[in-house]
Amino acid sequence: MIEVRVAHLGLDKTTNTPVVILQEQNGERVLPIWIGPAEASAIAMELAGMKFARPLTHDLLKQVIVGLGADLRKVIITKVQDNTYYAELHIYRGDAIVNIDARPSDSIALALRLKAPIFTSDELLEHTSVDTSELSTDTTTPPVDADWLKNHLQNLDPEDFGKFTP
């Protein structure tokens, strides 16, 4: 497993969709994950240190975990299947270990709140699946080559995604 960090939260200018960019802790490879606006806001608010008088969903889950005497030890971005990313929350309470299936965006928002490390596999960093069929509806433009797109995504500067603000 390779530890990653939230390197950037941006907005994909072509789809107007938020993207969280995870970067390996001691390296240059990145893992872009397209996420929903609510989860992007939750991540952005935590990165900005914004607090609210009443708990939002991820803050509530943090309080439930802490209130039960448990500890989020790590988040693992486990796989991508049919262009959907999967993650696991590894929660420890005493001798009990509970692994919970979760969306990566929610897992990242929770990991940031509980200061838990985020991991992924070398395989995901090397071979991120990208569905090129939805990238362009312009029939006059030749289809995007999957290898070119994968290389392009790996070499993107996070600033190329623009700035996402909640």
Cα–Cα distance, 110 to 51 (Å, whole number): 14
Q: Which of 25, 15, 16, 18 is nearest to 6 (CA)?
A: 25
144: Cβ–Cβ under 8 A, 6 or more apart, which residues? 132, 135, 136
Residue 21 sits in a domain whose CATH number is 3.10.690.10
pTM comes to 0.77
9-60 pLDDT, tens per residue?
Answer: 888 888 888 999 999 998 888 999 999 998 998 999 899 888 888 888 999 9
pLDDT, residue 12, reads 84
Tally of domains within the chain = 1
pLDDT, residue 144, reads 35
Q: In which domain, by residue range, is 136 found?
A: 2-161
pLDDT, residue 166, reads 60
57-96 pLDDT, tens per residue?
Answer: 999 999 999 999 999 999 999 999 988 999 999 999 999 9
Domain presence at residue 166: no
Cα–Cα distance, 99 to 91 (Å, whole number): 6
Cα–Cα distance, 101 to 154 (Å, whole number): 27
Q: What is the DSSP string of 77-106?
A: EEEEETTEEEEEEEEEETTEEEEEEE-HHH
Taking a C-beta distance cutoff of 8 angstroms, is the pair 29, 154 a contact?
Answer: yes
